[in-house]
Structure 1
Amino acid sequence: MLVNYLRLLLLPFSLIYGLAITLRKKLYDWGIMRSVKFDLPIICVGNLAVGGSGKTPTTEYLVRLLGDYKIAILSRGYGRKTKGFILADATATAETIGDEPLQYHQKFEDVTVAVCEDRVAGIEKLKENHDLIILDDAFQHRAVNAGLNILLFEFRKLGTLQFLLPAGNLRDIFASRKRADILLVTKSPVPLLHVAQQASVNELQPNNNQPVLHSYLKYGDLQHLYNNECRTLDSINDFEIFLLTGIANPAPLIEELEKYSKAVKHEEFADHYAFKEEDIKKFKSAFDKGVKKDKIIITTEKDSKRLKAAGFKDLLVNLPVYFLPIEVELFEEDKITFDELILNYVKSNRRNR
């Protein structure tokens, strides 16, 4: 909490940052800076804040929805130690392509996954052999004129006072939402009351052609980090849970786990954090000192990619360490609207090949 108050001292820098991105936005709007349009469907999944809005499970939802097409996912590859265009293959690790692209690559064998800081250059390399390209986290990358922009907003943060970087977590001005084709509110409560739905619409003030749709998180079964063992969340009732995360917003995950146990001990790191051996040793020591007989280590699917890549197997292999997969689902009427918008866009913009 103290850190949040100290960040308010940075408000003058947020003002300068806001002026800079507003000017950049105008340069693109006026055509002074060039935005490239491509002759195949390009779907951009993005948000205005730094991390935590659910872009990864939303991208995975799109992949499942569009399974009849040859898809490429193009990401910047945040947190990787490489540069330039890289195509994911059997040798890919979180260090070479980033944790989220690695998750896509390992989950969808028929989907091409690539990383490149320059999205235009990346699309040029992918466009000939694919029916469509999904841009992961590229709403601010105005050099590409995406055909369909899906902009994500986390439900619990709507209606709260948010500041631009560095005083806050917004990397773009709120007015930029007007560029989006679909406004998707994520991590909504279940059930979602009509008054809460309407509150989202009132906050976002969409254009007449901008649908405001709502999604929620659906949790899967726990999966062991090193083998094929799975177990349900019901099976860990009253366990002592040692939670290890390096994601932007672990609050929804903690809320889910607290449905099964009140003994959740959370070791929190920054988003995309590169775990170190001393971190894991300290965490393992805390687990060993756990007071309950029934205890378990849980991490996120994204974090599991970095844990496996970093060579911690000797420290963790004999422990009950699992990751919890999540999926995005939309409420019934919103799902019909969303799916129809996506499928119609791809069908009507697909090249004759």
Structure 2
Amino acid sequence: MLSYLKILLYPFSMLYGLIMWIRNRLYDNGALTAVEFEIPTIAVGNLSVGGTGKTPHVEYLIRLLKQFMPIATLSRGYNRRTKGFVLAGPNTTAAEIGDEPMQFHQKFPDISVCVGEERMLAIPELLGERPYIATVLLDDAFQHRSIKPGLNIMLTDYSRLFTRDHIVPFGRLREGRNGYHRADCIIVSKCPPTLSTADQAALRKEIAPLPHQQLFFTSLQYGQQYPMLPLASLPPVSADTTILLVCGIARPEPLVQHLKENYRQVFLLPFADHHYYTNGDLEKIQRELEDLPGQQKLIVTTEKDAVRLSLLQEQITARNWQIAIIPVEISFLFDEQVSFNNYIFDYIQRKYTETEGAPAYHTGQLPDTKDAIE
């Protein structure tokens, strides 16, 4: 029955794909104008509707670059409750800028984090308020054609490569597969850490990167759990602790699998991606928690969910819940981390070399590519 329904969706996918093809052709032919900025701009996005691990890849770039220059992230601010350009400040909440930008803001208070639906207008506003910004990271901007980024990084999930997917609603692609031609760099994300060189070669052949494109492979690494509530501490846990995973992310399966490798009983309570939690949701979580087997119980959530749950911090504190956040980072496979770092540094240095009158602090701070940090 499900396959039959998917077949019925195919004509709608064809229609949507045609619309996106026409739109892309208008940009490619210059009928629609894309703005390119003198400042280095690095876009991180994907062809699919989500679940490729974009956030930890943006965080990797933040960690890589912020020690050498003042940087900013610019996101659309999906599902936020504000409009227009917003620059995060000391009292900003996830409701104002969205969950992912709020995560960046909390984890990296020494960078500038902003949101704006119209990125071509948001960048001038950002530079008007923070003229010292040296590089802008464009979060989820692969389809935002009104800006031409200096470097376009496209992610594709190992378990659902764009080469095997279809346009929504029949599949999960936002546009046709040929959209990958716009990428300067392709990253196959969420790979098994033990991916073999033979599998790497097979994936390279399937993706068939163009001569100008770089191809890298990354896997997810989950870090040490830490308490969500300020000044709280986590109870002792063991393999016998029953886990309730509360999350609203596109693809929770890798996290579920990771938890099952460490705990005997793991239960998933899923919510929609970018879901803002309500008091009713807290009641649902309470019922699920009470129904779980075992004496030791622990609620686990993601960093992205935590910034949305924190909007109900008083109610959660009153319930005396134990909530653990599990962070996630990326790891480059096949010893390609330094090569990727060099690739990013080379672009930024080249961009400022080409830009006349670049401020002095924009140059000379980057490491020589042969000495790029690991």
Normalised to the residue count of structure 1, the TM-score between the two structures is 0.94
Could you tell me how far apart the structure 1 residues matched to 2:4 and 2:234 are? Answer: 41
Q: For residue 37 of structure 1, what is the aligned residue in structure 2?
A: 36
**Aligned-residue CA RMSD in angstroms?**
1.9
Deviates more, 1:255-264 or 1:196-205: 196-205
> Structure 1 347/160 Cα, relative in aligned 2: closer, same or farther at 3 Å?
closer
Report 1:141-220 matches (<5 A).
141-158=144-161, 161-220=164-223
Report 1:28-107 matches (<5 A).
28-67=27-66, 68-107=68-107
Deviates more, 1:258-267 or 1:332-341: 332-341
Could you tell me how far apart the structure 2 residues matched to 1:107 and 1:240 are? Answer: 28
Answer yes or no: is the 8 Å Cα contact 1:243–1:299 preserved in 2: yes
Could you tell me how far apart the structure 1 residues matched to 2:321 and 2:312 are? Answer: 17
Give 1:121's aligned amino acid.
Answer: L
> Structure 1 171/316 Cα, relative in aligned 2: closer, same or farther at 3 Å?
farther
List gaps (5 residues or longer) in structure 1.
none
Could you tell me how far apart the structure 2 residues matched to 1:235 and 1:121 are? Answer: 49
Could you tell me how far apart the structure 1 residues matched to 2:4 and 2:230 are? Answer: 44
Give the drift of 1:138: 0.2
Report 1:275-286 matches (<5 A).
275-286=277-288
Report whether the alignment pairs 1:132 with 2:131. Answer: no
Could you tell me how far apart the structure 2 residues matched to 1:316 and 1:149 are? Answer: 45
Give the drift of 1:290: 2.2
Give 2:171's aligned amino acid.
Answer: G
Could you tell me how far apart the structure 1 residues matched to 2:209 and 2:163 are? Answer: 18
Identity of aligned residues (%): 38
Answer yes or no: is the 8 Å Cα contact 1:71–1:131 preserved in 2: yes
Q: For residue 16 of structure 1, what is the aligned residue in structure 2?
A: 15
Answer yes or no: is the 8 Å Cα contact 2:99–2:308 preserved in 1: yes
Give 1:190's aligned amino acid.
Answer: P
Once the two structures are superposed, residues 205-250 of structure 1 have per-residue CA deviations (whole angstroms, 9 ceiling, x without a partner) of: 1112212100111111111110355669x94322111011100000
3-state SS in 2 of match to 1:157: coil
> Structure 1 314/46 Cα, relative in aligned 2: closer, same or farther at 3 Å?
closer
Once the two structures are superposed, residues 4-33 of structure 1 have per-residue CA deviations (whole angstroms, 9 ceiling, x without a partner) of: 763442211111100000011111110010
Could you tell me how far apart the structure 2 residues matched to 1:309 and 1:58 are? Answer: 25
> Structure 1 349/161 Cα, relative in aligned 2: closer, same or farther at 3 Å?
closer
Once the two structures are superposed, residues 316-351 of structure 1 have per-residue CA deviations (whole angstroms, 9 ceiling, x without a partner) of: 651111111101121253212111000111122135
Give the drift of 1:253: 0.2
> Structure 1 209/122 Cα, relative in aligned 2: closer, same or farther at 3 Å?
same
Count of aligned positions:
351
Give 2:74's aligned amino acid.
Answer: L
Give the drift of 1:313: 3.1
Once the two structures are superposed, residues 285-314 of structure 1 have per-residue CA deviations (whole angstroms, 9 ceiling, x without a partner) of: 221232211211001110001011145634
3-state SS in 2 of match to 1:106: helix
Q: For residue 368 of structure 2, what is the aligned residue in structure 1?
A: none
Q: For residue 370 of structure 2, what is the aligned residue in structure 1?
A: none
Answer yes or no: is the 8 Å Cα contact 1:221–1:230 preserved in 2: no
Q: For residue 238 of structure 1, what is the aligned residue in structure 2?
A: 240
> Structure 1 5/297 Cα, relative in aligned 2: closer, same or farther at 3 Å?
farther
3-state SS in 2 of match to 1:122: helix
List gaps (5 residues or longer) in structure 2.
360-374
Could you tell me how far apart the structure 2 residues matched to 1:86 and 1:4 are? Answer: 43
Could you tell me how far apart the structure 1 residues matched to 2:270 and 2:158 are? Answer: 22
Answer yes or no: is the 8 Å Cα contact 1:34–1:143 preserved in 2: yes
Could you tell me how far apart the structure 2 residues matched to 1:163 and 1:316 are? Answer: 46
Q: For residue 320 of structure 1, what is the aligned residue in structure 2?
A: 322
Could you tell me how far apart the structure 2 residues matched to 1:120 and 1:317 are? Answer: 44
> Structure 1 203/310 Cα, relative in aligned 2: closer, same or farther at 3 Å?
farther
3-state SS in 2 of match to 1:44: strand
Could you tell me how far apart the structure 1 residues matched to 2:215 and 2:200 are? Answer: 9
Give 1:270's aligned amino acid.
Answer: A
